[in-house]
Amino acid sequence: MNTTGAISHLQMPLAEPDYFKIGLLPDKEAADALRSILSSLDAVEEQVESWRDRIYNRRMCCLRIYRTRNLWRLDIDPTSDRPFTSMDSWLEAMFPGGTSRYAKEAAETEKALSDVPIKILAETPRCNARTLASKYISDDCRKDPAVHKAMVESSEKGFRQMLNTTHGQALEAPETLKFTYPHGDAEQVRKYLAWVISKAELDEGDYPAALLYLAIHENQEHLAEEEQPA
């Protein structure tokens, strides 16, 4: 079977400017050249954002077929020299290092959206796919063709508002917290949160959930202490 027609390749050439040559140009020509480069970079950044969605879409669609047809059973687990016994172990082996988290996220999202046709998955922005895959969304909502249509066509904010107002969901707007540590300190934080994950029986590597678990637990304790009579 010829599979060439079913496969497309991602290419995004970005030629490196000759900065030495630009530095030798007269002022106006140098300024024009640099302005052109900076303008082109804006266009590339927009394209990169689009590509992130396309990569996520393709991961979900590929993993949908892998999961529903159990194709992961065809590969050999290097730890046992036998076929893989689960898709989770297949994901761990096939996507090591930094790609593991993205592959697992796409796999979890795709599985949560089992009722969404693969054609819709191929066109849905990552943010909206993640929103519909949220544990706070009802199963009936995930099955609704009108929701699928909106998932493709709406902005992140518009899709969330539609789910809340039209379908009675209770989604809050996401907020990003960012912490930066030196490498050694980051290792200590990860080590501690890994212990919290084990204690709270959370998913492996889910540091945000571990931090939330700590915050809720500690806040409850503080509140109880404040309510006690002096």
82 bridge partner residues: 77
- Angle, alpha carbons 101-10-13 (nearest 5°): 115
Helical (H) or strand (E) element with 147:
helix 145-153
CA distances to 122, 147, 173, 215 from 152, in Å: 9, 9, 19, 35
pLDDT along the chain (230 residues), means of 10: 44 73 92 89 80 88 95 92 92 79 89 94 92 89 93 92 86 78 90 89 82 85 66
Sign of CA dihedral 15, 16, 20, 22: positive
User: Do 53 and 125 meet the contact criterion of CB atoms below 8 Å apart?
Assistant: yes
User: How crowded is residue 62: how many other Cβ atoms within 10 Å of its Cβ?
Assistant: 16
Amino acid 11: pLDDT: 47
Q: What is the CA radius of gyration of the chain?
A: 23
CA 102 to chain centre: 6
Q: Is the entire prediction scored with pTM above 0.85? A: no
Beta strand extents in the chain (DSSP E only): 76-77, 82-83
Q: Domain-by-domain residue ranges, the chain?
A: 23-112, 113-170, 183-218
Q: Which two tokens stand for residue 137?
A: 């969304």
Alpha carbons 37 and 39: distance in angstroms, whole number: 5
Residue 166, both tokens: 């039209």
pLDDT at 224: 66
